[in-house]
Structure 1
Amino acid sequence: MSTKNQLGEFLRARRAGLQPDDVGMASCGTRRVAGLRREEVAVLAGINVDYYTRLEQGRERHPSPQVLGALSQALRLDADARDHLYRLAGAVPDGQPVPTPDRISADLRQLIDGYPLAAAFVINRALDILAVNALAEALYSPFQHADNLARMAFLDPAARQFYPRWNWTAEATVANLRQAIGHEPHNSRLQELIRDLTRQSGEFTRLWNAHAVRGKTREDKYFLHPDVGPLTLSYQALDVRDAPGQQLVVYQAPPGTPSAQALHLLGSLHATRRQSEPGPQRP
């Protein structure tokens, strides 16, 4: 994955994703480029077109916060995409990024095991699954290796059935990784993951080149588990304060709902299998 001109690539991709109608501009003449022209973005942002061209070409890499704010408005960036733009330009005032630790604390291990009625697990910015509780292990049991949410979504054959809204899941997963690379542009684990997925998945490559950026949302998650059928789960994603970059994710279902009953059954089935067929210890 190239890291030489991520700022310019991001600007080009977001410019290509906007049409004149999206920003209240008239479309005149034959358009030879997808989306807005550079001149149109420059007008919307109130900056010199030559300066904007240098930004896209990588000849200018450190625009001022004022210019970044103007570009955020011109390109209609949401909060996640705006933060990503600032990070790419080195304008985020929170110092050097802290590498995400790959091990969880004993207290966090105890916490996730304390959710008997919810699937709880811990991930890092690369979406590696660092630890799971029993119900999360049961939830992800259809996958051959439940080790990385991105690899699971794009490379495991089980994903297309497990995620009924696979297209939405794929888009959200890539957008999460785009946000992560903004936080840690030199993270070798992230770079290796993105290289591997780009090489092995055309769908990932297409979505990666779209430069969408998004953090975790609060939308319900939909699953189709081969043992218990459909599941609709709400979830929380909580930052781990003593391990920057780690997140505790908790999936649960409202009491008394079919999904809650299915989740309980899934836990019971998985516990029975673990007792009769002991395997390696979960992380």
Structure 2
Amino acid sequence: MDTAAGRRDHLREFLRGRRARITPDQVGLPVAGRRRTPGLRREEVAVLAGVGVSWYTWLEQGRDITVSAEVLDAIAAALLLTDPERAHLYILAGLNPPCRGGDSGPDIAAETRNLLDAWGTRPAVLRDRYWNVLAYNDTARAVFGFEGPGHNCLVTYFTNPRYLAVPDIWAEAAPAVAAAYRADSAPCPDDPGFGSVVTELASRSPEFARLWSRHDVGPAGQAVNALRHPEVGDLHFDATTLLLADQPDRHMVLYNPRPDTGTADRLDQIRRLRLAPPA
């Protein structure tokens, strides 16, 4: 079976299953007479979504028809789909997933806070979809010079003197950092949150403005981070970005000392300096 045909088969089963779980009263429809099958009828979904009954029937049958994002959004609303289900509907219909909606808000779950702290003597940062820093552990505060709120990982990379103090490594990695941010922003081209970060940084960093104009796209994945700490010297990290499955607008960046660079020993020096009594 080819990929498109298999996707349409999954679409058929998905729509049938979502329709079967909804009762008319959940969507404000009157219940008249005995219903032979559970859930909504096809014609009821069509009415709720504002599409033709025949067209919706063809879609649910898995026929090869043209769909639009607007129609899929209407069907998603009619079937009371969650954001992950809506994205799944897009994929099964052959469209790019929609911009992820929702915001986890300002609160940091205790489990997330514990994971940040458990990274202990290594830096760990929690960021949102715009790469704004939401929380960090004590080691990240000391390594990156974070104080208080208002930091952004992209802005930090292109403006923090600690990164810029290792120009050869910084220049080699900077294109990939800009490309990763473009990849993250691509599903939401009209989201002002991404736009404000790009606008601010382009005004502060000509090099970022130049790289952004190239329209390169690449994954975040794993990256090598190097910076010069004012007290202990150069630090080299392997950085891994993890998605929080229950909060898809949040990512945790874990920094692990790169082997054979002396970084682990220098992190111990930072810790001892922080614990030392004032002179």
Q: TM-score, normalised by structure 2?
A: 0.58
CA distance in 1, matches of 2:271, 2:148: 18
Aligned to 1:11: none
Look up the match of 2:214. 210
Of residues 199, 213, 219, the one that matches 1:195 is: 199
Per-residue displacement from partner, 1:45-76 (whole Å, max 9, x unpaired)? Answer: xxxxxxxxxxxxxxxxx999xxxxxxxxxxxx
Deviations 1:205-240 (A, max 9, x none): 111111111222324322221211122222321111
Contact 1:144 1:156 in 2 (8 A): no
Output the amino acid matched with 1:117.
Answer: T
Superposition deviation, residue 248 in structure 1: 0.9
Q: For the residues of structure 2 that align with 1:128 and 1:162, how far apart are their CA atoms?
A: 23
Letter of the aligned partner of 2:250 in structure 1? Answer: Q
Determine the C-alpha separation between the residues in 2 that align with 1:158 and 1:253.
16
Greater Rg over alpha carbons, structure? 2
- In 1, distance between residues paired with 2:168 and 2:270? 18
> How many pairs were matched up?
190
| Residue equivalent to 2:19 | none
Structure 2 residues not aligned, in runs of 5+? 1-65, 69-89
Higher normalized contact order (CA 8 Å, seq sep 6+, divided by chain length): 1
Write out per-residue CA displacement over residues 123-164 of structure 1, whole angstroms, 9 at most, x where no aligned residue.
122211111001111110189987112222333444311565
For 1:223, give the aligned amino acid. L
Corresponding residue SS for 2:186: helix
Q: CA deviation at 1:186?
A: 2.9
For residues 156-207 of structure 1, give each alpha carbon's deviation from its aligned partner in whole angstroms, at most 9, with x where no partner exists: 4443115651213321221122012113223222111111222333211111
Query: Are 1:147 and 2:139 counterparts?
Result: no
The aligned amino acid for 1:208 is W
| Aligned structure 1 segments of 4 or more residues deviating by more than 4 angstroms | 142-146, 254-257
> What is residue 101 of structure 1 aligned with on the other side?
104
In structure 1, distance between residues paired with 2:159 and 2:150:
11
CA distance 1:254–1:148, change in 2 (3 Å)? closer
Q: Say whether the 8 Å CA contact 1:143–1:159 is kept in structure 2.
A: no
Measured after TM superposition, the shift of residue 258 of structure 1 is 2.1
Match for 1:239 among 239, 243, 259? 243
RMSD over equivalenced CA pairs, Å: 3.4
Question: What SS does the aligned partner of 2:222 have?
Answer: coil
Please give the secondary structure, in 1, of the residue aligned with 2:252.
strand
Q: Return the alpha-carbon distance in structure 2 between the equivalents of residues 119 and 163 of structure 1.
A: 22
Report the identity percentage. Answer: 25
Does the Cα contact within 8 Å between 1:119 and 1:134 map onto a contact in 2?
A: yes
- Contact 2:98–2:187 at 8 Å: present in 1 too? no
Matched, 1:250 2:262: no
Structure 2 counterparts to residues 81-120 of structure 1, below 5 A: 91-92=95-96, 94-101=97-104, 103=106, 104-120=108-124
C-alpha contact 1:163 1:223 (8 A) present in aligned 2: no
* Distance change in 2, residues 1:101/1:172 (3 Å): farther
8 A contact 2:163–2:228 mirrored in 1: no
Distance in 2 of aligned mates of 1:160 and 1:185: 29
> What's the secondary structure of 1:165's corresponding residue?
helix
- Inter-partner Cα distance in structure 1 for 2:233 and 2:149: 21
CA contact 2:99–2:188 (8 Å) conserved in 1: no
Residue of structure 2 equivalent to 1:260: 264
Report the 3-state secondary structure (helix = DSSP H, G, I; strand = E; otherwise coil) of the residue aligned with 1:154.
helix
The aligned amino acid for 1:183 is P
* Greater shift in the superposed pair: 132-141 or 162-171: 162-171
Residue 96 to residue 164, structure 1, CA distance change in 2 (3 Å):
closer
Partner of 1:174: 178
Higher mean alpha-carbon deviation, 158-167 vs 127-136, is at 158-167
CA distance in 2, matches of 1:155, 1:63: 44
Question: Per-residue deviation at 1:263?
Answer: 1.1
Q: Confirm whether residue 186 of structure 1 aligns to residue 190 of structure 2.
A: yes
Native 8 Å contact 1:162 1:225 kept in 2: no
Aligned 8 A contact 1:175 1:211 in 2: yes
Structure 2 letter corresponding to 1:118: R
- Structural mapping, 1:4-153, within 5 Å: 91-92=95-96, 94-101=97-104, 103=106, 104-141=108-145, 147-153=151-157
